[in-house]
Chains A and B, each alone.
Chain A
Amino acid sequence: MQIPIEYYLVLSAFMFTVGIVGVLTRRNAIVVFMCIELMLNSANLTLITYSSYLGDVAGQLFVFFVMSVAAAEAAVGLAIIIAIYRNKLTVNIDEINILKW
């Protein structure tokens, strides 16, 4: 007996919603960033699941490109966080409101 595809999809949906809750509730910018990584990984899990069940390599290649984009995004995002911390001495996103009018 093989594992039904629904199990993987439900796990992926659960991880995605946990990531959304983290982004909306946490106030530390770095933790918000890590929650975004969690959401990216749940999407990757769905892509790999379909790629494996359909026998199509495109999904796995897409996951590879998502990984490289995530690495680039993490580098730039953390550099921005360091720059903000240097100016405001905080990474609490409630206090970083210079773009708020």
Chain B
Amino acid sequence: MTLEIVLFIVFASICAVSAVLMITRPNPVISALFLVLNFCSLAGLYLILNAQFIAVAQVIVYAGAIMVFFLFVIMLLNPETEKRFFEQKAKLRIFIIAIVSLILVQIVYMIFISNPSEVITKEVARSVETGTVENIGREMFTNYVLPFEAAGYLLLAATIGALVLAKKKFE
């Protein structure tokens, strides 16, 4: 067992367990904190995959900015705690879980039957080269400069839209 595999098992299990805990906790604040844990372990997985820039952006943007925003709104609205996961509409929930786990089994079956690891093998040197900030920045400001500008306009529009929607009155 190399260190890479040990780290993958640790981060992947944290990721899976925190996702399940997030959707089963009745209190939304605890759900949000489990989602932060999930995002942080995903950043660890990105580091194993040699995507340094995206790992840092994941922690700063997702676990930092977006989740703080969610927590602010939860504290602001103070929504009532839901009942425990299986107490209300238990039959419907079990039905939903059965259908969705059937879909999961299908996806996993398709992944293993197509056997991608036979055709795709990781070249470590090239993979490390790909994820550096230098490489991503060069691509972003040459080939992908138009989507980059569009993302800037999208964020501006979203800021103005959020201000207008959350204002007290439309006047």
Residues of A within 8 A of B (CB): 1-11, 13-15, 17-22, 24-28, 30-31, 33-35, 37-38, 41, 44-45, 48-58, 60-61, 63-65, 67-76, 78-83, 85, 90-92
Contacts and interface: CB of A to CB of B under 8 A. Distances in A.
Contacts of B10: none
A54 B120 CA distance: 7
Interface string B76-91: 1101101001000000
What are the 5 closest A-B residue pairs judged by CB atoms, nearest first? A72-B158, A22-B23, A55-B126, A79-B165, A79-B162
Contact of A55 (B15, B42, B129): B129
Chain B at the A interface: mostly helix, strand, loop or mixed? helix
A60 B135 CA distance: 11
Contact of A20 (B48, B100, B158): B100
A27 B23 CA distance: 11
Contacts of A90: 79
Given A52-B127, A55-B127, A65 B165 contact: no
B54 A64 contact: yes
B4 A3 contact: yes
Contacts of A60: 51, 53-54, 130-131, 136
Contact of B116 (A5, A17, A22, A64): A5
A25 B70 contact: no
Nearest to A2: B122
A56 B129 CA distance: 10
